[in-house]
Amino acid sequence: MKISEIRAMSAEEIETKLTELKKEFFNLRFQHGVGQLENTAILPGIRRDIARLKTVSREMNLNT
């Protein structure tokens, strides 16, 4: 997910997407721990997307 896409979202959309990604990250991390996850390269990407969403959300809160 690109930063420009995130900046185009509203605050509610960002929170919704953040919740979805956190749930997905938890499930993938659980699968990785059990040994069922084949593509482990997904984990850092989701973690970065969560960080991007949090950063933009924080910027929006500071600007208002």
Q: What is the pLDDT of residue 42?
A: 96
Please determine, for residue 52, whether its predicted confidence score (pLDDT) is greater than 80: yes
Q: What is the pLDDT of residue 21?
A: 97
Please determine, for residue 64, whether its predicted confidence score (pLDDT) is greater than 80: no
**What would the DSSP string read from start to end of 43-57?**
HHHHHHHHHHHHHHH
Q: Helix 11-34 vs helix 42-63: angle between axes, to the nearest 10 degrees?
A: 150
pLDDT digits (tens, 9 = 90+) for 11-49: 999 999 999 999 999 999 999 999 999 999 999 999 999
Domains in the chain: ranges and CATH:
3-63 (1.10.287.310)
Nearest to 1 by CA among 41, 46, 39: 46
CA distance 6 to 30: 27
Q: What is the pLDDT of residue 1?
A: 84
Predicted TM-score (pTM) of this structure: 0.91
